[in-house]
Amino acid sequence: MLLPTLVHQKNYDDEAFFNLQSSEANGGPTWDPIAGPATAWDYNYNNTDDPTGNDLYRTGQKQFLGGPVIWYRNVANRFVEFAANKRKDHMCILDPLRHIFIQGVNSTVLSDKSKNFSQHVYWPLRHIYQSINTSYGAVYGNWAKVFDGQLGRNIWVPMSGYLASTYANTDANFQPWYAPAGFTRGVINGIADIAIYPKQKHRDQLYKINVNPVANFPNDGFVVFGQKTLQSKPSAFDRVNVRRLFLYLEKATRATAKYFVFEPNTLFTRTQVGNILAPIFDRAKNTEGLYDYLLICDERNNTPDVIDQNEMVIDIYIKPVRAAEFILVNFYATRTGQDFSELVS
C-alpha cells in the first residue's frame, strides 16, 4: 500500500519498526506519553525546505509536516463523514495504529518489559480518539495474528474484518439491535493470537475512552468485550446496538415512506402511513429492540400550515432497549427460619 505525504513518497511497510518514542522511524524528538500531546507523537518537524514547494505548514524556521496521529485522524474523519453525513445507513469500524500493539514483524509492544499498558497502549489510544466524536463509528483495541497462505507465515491484521463478520452474524442469527459482543455473539474464531491480553482493569480503562476491548478468556477463546461507539457525550447513541437499531428503523421507514410522496395529504393517507409503519416497529419491540414507541402522523403535527407547504410530518418516539453490560450478583445469607417474602417486599 502506498502512503503519500507532503515530504516522503515511498512504499509504506507496516512491518517496519516504528519507534513510538520518536517522531519518525529513524529518530526525532522524544515522545513522553505522560507529559502531554504536544510532542513528536503528533508532529514531525523539518528545518529544511519542503521539496514539494508547499509553504502551507511553515511556522518560523520549522515546518509542520504532520505526524502519525494527524494522518490517522484525517483518514478516520473521511470514513466518519461518509457514514454519518453521506450514506447514513451504516457504521464504520476504525482500526487503531499497528505500532501501538506490534513492533516490527512479530514483536508485541508489551513483550518489551520496559513497556506497560497504561503508558504504551492506553495513552496513545486515548490521545488518538479523544477528538473523534461520533455515534457512527466504533473502534476495537487489539490486533489479531492469522496465517497468511500466500506468505506462508503468520501475520498481524487489524480487527475490523472480524468485527464486520461479528456484526453480520448478529444480523443473521439475532437482530441488528442485539449487541455484537460477549460470549454469545462476540466470540471471534479463525485467529491464532491477539496482540495484548487486557485484564479487567485494562478493559475498564479502554472502555472509559470508548475503545472496545478484545480479550482472551480461558475455555471461551477470544471475545469482543465492549460495544461502545465513539460518541463522547453519554446518551443512548453511545452504544453500538442502539445506533444500529436506529439505522435499521430509519432505513426501513425511508423505504416505506417514499411510496407516499405525491399522494394526497389527507387523513386517509396519514392514517395509512401509520398503519404501514407500525408493523416495522412492532417487530423491533417484539424482538427486544425497543421497549416502546409512539408514532404520530395526524393533525397534531400536520397542521394546516404544514399541509400548505406541501409537507407531511411523521414523528416517531422510541425507547431503545439497553444491553446489560454489567451484571451485579449479590448473595445474602439469612436465618434458617427467614421468610423470603419479607426480604423482598
Q: pLDDT tens-digit profile of 256-302? A: 999 999 999 999 999 999 999 999 999 999 999 999 999 999 999 99
pLDDT at position 328 is 83
CA pseudo-torsion sign 237, 240, 246, 247: positive
Q: How far apart are CA 182 and CA 222, in angstroms?
A: 10
Q: How far apart are CA 319 and CA 110, in angstroms?
A: 43
Residues 97 and 40 in one domain: no
Average of pLDDT values for 188-207? 96
Tell me how many domains the chain contains.
Answer: 2
Q: pLDDT tens-digit profile of 117-166? A: 999 999 989 989 988 999 999 999 999 999 999 989 999 999 999 999 99
Q: Does residue 173 register a pLDDT over 70? A: yes
53-57, 119-123, 193-197: which has the highest mean pLDDT? 193-197
Residues 221 and 139 in one domain: yes
pTM beyond cutoff 0.75: yes
Q: Does residue 331 register a pLDDT over 70? A: yes
Q: How far apart are CA 123 and CA 21, in angstroms?
A: 13
Domain boundary among 237, 261, 294: 237
Residues 54 and 121 in one domain: no
Residues 122 and 47 in one domain: no
Q: How far apart are CA 227 and CA 237, in angstroms?
A: 11
Residues 43 and 90 in one domain: no
Domain limits for position 47: 1-66
Domain boundary among 195, 210, 237: 237
